[in-house]
């Protein structure tokens, strides 16, 4: 179990990185977090869960329906489903995003994180095809990164 302050620090660093470098991909964000002293494990979870937390917060009142779990692909390729509530980084990311809303962060700043979520991108694709958010029910997100994050040889 990671301390709440450590998770909040990692999330705060990730938010700053994502907002200042919008074209940075997930692996680049992961590397940037590691270079700022965040452990591989926490950096990987933040990259996976932070955009999802912001997306769900932004779309919360839309009527879109989200699952309460995620699926992780293990190193042997098998899939296992877990409740989101079991993931400390998910809980900390959700709390961080809600705190930003309470502090009056702009919609643009919320979207700068939310739009990185696969769920947000899927919603946009469906909206372009004529769907309505209140008619969208998302499937369980599949997370492919191993526990220590991607291996980029360094």
Where do we find the tokens 């964000």?
29
Domain count, the chain: 1
What tokens does 60 get?
Answer: 């919360």
Give CA–CA dist 42/128, Å, rounded. Answer: 35
Residue 148 domain flag: no
Residue 15: inside a domain: yes
43 belongs to a structural domain: yes
Would you write out the chain's pLDDT as a tens digit for each of its 154 residues?
Answer: 468 889 999 999 999 999 999 999 999 999 999 999 999 999 999 999 999 999 999 999 999 999 999 999 888 889 999 999 999 999 999 999 999 999 999 999 999 999 999 999 999 999 999 999 999 999 999 998 988 888 875 4
In a domain, 149, yes or no: no
For residue 151, is it within any domain? no
Whether pTM > 0.85 for this model: the answer is yes
**Which domain, by its residues, includes 76?**
4-142
Does residue 33 form part of some domain?
A: yes
Residue 132 belongs to some domain of the structure: yes
Q: Are 33 and 25 a contacting pair, CB within 8 Å?
A: no
The answer to whether position 11 is within a domain reads: yes
Pair 133, 63: CB distance under 8 Å: yes
Angle subtended at Cα 15 by Cα 12 and Cα 21, rounded to the nearest 5 degrees: 140
């Amino acid at each position: 179990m990671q301390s709440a302050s450590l998770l909040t620090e990692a999330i705060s660093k990730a938010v700053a990185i994502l907002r200042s470098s919008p074209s940075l991909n997930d692996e680049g964000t992961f590397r940037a977090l590691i270079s700022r002293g965040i452990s591989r494990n926490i950096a990987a979870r933040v990259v996976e869960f932070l955009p999802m937390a912001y997306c769900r917060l932004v779309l919360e009142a839309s009527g879109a329906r989200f699952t309460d779990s995620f699926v992780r692909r293990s190193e042997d390729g098998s899939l296992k489903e877990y409740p989101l509530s079991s993931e400390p980084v998910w809980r900390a990311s959700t709390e961080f995003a809600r705190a930003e809303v309470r502090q009056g962060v702009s919609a643009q700043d919320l979207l700068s994180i939310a739009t990185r979520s696969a769920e947000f991108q899927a919603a946009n694709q469906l909206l372009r095809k004529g769907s309505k958010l209140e008619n969208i029910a998302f499937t369980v997100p599949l997370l492919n990164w191993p526990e220590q994050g991607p291996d980029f040889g360094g």
